[in-house]
Amino acid sequence: MKRSYWIKEPSVAYTSLSDSIHVDTLVIGGGMCGLMSAYYLSHTDRRIALVEAERIGQGASGRNTGKLSAQQGFLYSDLIKTHGEAKARLYYEANRDAITALEDLINDEKINCQFRRVDAMLMALDEREQEALEKERQAYDALRIPYEVVTQPPYEMPFVKGLRMMKQAQFHPYHFMLELAQRMHQNGVAIHEHSPVTAINKQKEGYAITCNNCTIHAKSIIMATHFPISDHGNLFFTKVDFVQGDLLAAKSAYPLHDTMMINIDSDHIFSARTQIDDDGSALAILSGNQHHAGFMTLEDHDRWVKMRTRQFQLKQPILTWRNQDYVSHDRLPFIGNLIADDPSIQFASGFGKWGNTMSVVAAKTMVANLLVEMTPYAALFAPHRRQVIFQSSYFLGNMKMIKHYLTSHIKSFFPDHYPFHVRTFHENGTVYGAVEKDGKLSIVNIRCPHLGCILNYNAVDETWDCPCHGSRFTYDGKLIKGPADQDLHDIEEAPNTIDPHIID
């Protein structure tokens, strides 16, 4: 996958798991959510370990815009409509308090991650967006969220009005995660990189977890793998939308406005912030060009990069990259018991593109659930809530999945529009994808092992992405993200086994 602006070669490497171990709680996943969970657990008397399939902080958390904000686009008016004012207010408070909790942690642990309090602004760029902005303003009033109305554009750009939410924050997410991991490791938390969990088996007491052919015996688990690696009949893949967006980092010819910005249009959304680069110069970090996972072309990406670079009068971008996240159909994340009434496996997902603050809330909530402590958020984010399946977007989203399934099969019979080094073809009743890279040809079966959709090639990240539920694989077939849980088979092997593993 393409590197993000944030990710550099880390100075510390953690050993991969090579022996069986016994712990009280195993944290799976070394992104923002897993690290925050391990951090809070490290303040209890539990023996804990954290295992990460790849490298610490190089998943979605090392690839985002690095904003910490309770202002999350057009949100609160939707939350009021779906969940009522009390719950919408609680969501706001959870995110507001998460920023303060992170600020305190950064100060206490002396973490150097360019954390800075800055204002955030939600903008309407035309009359149509202004109508939505007015709705959101009314929601702020109803929820007693402090804001100011802005009438002057921050740059020379189409602009009607903005809502400023004061004292939100931004940081360097990768530096934060690396330093937090180091502090925890120095304080005795076992951390293992290159250690993917491949099976979780319930035992009489606790779990036997398979990782690198070793067994981890744990009484409880926090599954912070971005998307749960085990479904247990919950059909979580039907309850979220799988969203990808492009990002760029570029220097500016002109002074940059310090306010973090986001516009209100979900189809043409862009999000912007500034960043001080290693050489002291100011950069803009922009994200946008949002699509359903598996549908973004290189042409789309290049067009977006050119358009935003011109709009913000930026120099040639230093780097462009892409990220993916999950948006639940009722716009609240899923945080809590994976299996209803059994708190021993906690998970968190569906952060709706705001997982930096939500990871703090999720970590606190999951740790409280494990310790059987009360938290105001347990009910709000309960993963088994029924509202999700009563949303029109649940129905429409799953209809779209069926359409994606059918069209992906039909499309695979026609010549693709991939770069010249990528080809797809049918053989022996299944579909293969061939990629030539660095003089080596990789040919893998591109029928998704989750439910059988035909994967699309993502030329920006050089990955095979599933248009149905967002599973991702490297160009040569290694699993990056579920819900699929197996690598793609090489053409020399038997075709992929299609198994959604819904029950185990």
Ligand X SMILES: Cc1cc2nc3c(=O)[nH]c(=O)nc-3n(C[C@H](O)[C@H](O)[C@H](O)COP(=O)(O)OP(=O)(O)OC[C@H]3O[C@@H](n4cnc5c(N)ncnc54)[C@H](O)[C@@H]3O)c2cc1C
Number of amino acids touching ligand X (CB under 6 A): 38
Distances (CA, A) of 82 to 164, 318, 330, 348, 391: 24, 41, 7, 21, 8
Interface characters, 221-260, with ligand FES (x: CB under 6 A): ----------------x-----------------------
In the bound state with ligand X, the residue whose beta carbon lies nearer, of 323 and 474, is 323
Stretch binding ligand FES (CB under 6 A), from 71-79, 112-120, 299-307, 468-476: 468-476
- The whole-angstrom distance between residue 274's C-alpha and the CA centroid of its chain comes to 21
Task: Give, as one character, the DSSP assignment of residue 252.
Answer: B
- Quote the least distance from Cβ 17 to ligand X, whole Å: 10
The minimum distance between CB 77 and ligand X, in angstroms, equals 20
381 contacts ligand X (rule: CB under 6 A): no
- With b for 16 or more beta-carbon neighbours within 10 A and e for fewer, the 313-333 pattern comes to ebeebebbbbbbbbbbbbbbb
Output the six-digit token pair for 83: 């969940």
Interface with ligand FES, residue 70, by CB under 6 A: no
**Interacting residue with ligand X among 41, 60, 98, 169 (CB under 6 A):** 60
**By rule CB under 6 A, what string of x and - marks binding of each residue 426-455 to ligand FES?**
----------------------x-xx-x--
Q: Of residues 273, 331, 469, 489, which one binds ligand FES by CB under 6 A?
A: 469
Residue 52 binds which entry of ligand FES, ligand X, none, with Cβ cut-offs from 5 to 8 Å by kind? ligand X
Interface with ligand X in residues 229-248 (CB under 6 A): 229, 243, 245, 247
484 binds, among ligand FES, ligand X, none (CB under 5 to 8 A by kind): ligand FES
The answer to whether the CB of 212 falls within 8 A of the CB of 18 is: yes
- Within 10 A of 500 (CB to CB), how many other CB atoms are there? 17
Contact call for residues 363 and 33 (beta carbons, < 8 A): yes
Three-state SS at 469: coil
Contacts to ligand X from residues 336-375, by CB under 6 A? 351, 353-357, 359
Query: Which are the contacts of 494, defined by CB distance < 8 A and separation ≥ 6?
Result: none
Q: How far apart, in whole angstroms, are the C-alpha atoms of residue 436 and residue 413? A: 21
Which residue do the tokens 């699929």 mark?
484
Count of residues touching ligand FES (by CB under 6 A)? 11
d(CA 35, CA 360): 9
Binding site for ligand X (CB under 6 A): 28-34, 51-54, 59-61, 64-67, 196-197, 224-226, 229, 243, 245, 247, 287, 323-325, 351, 353-357, 359
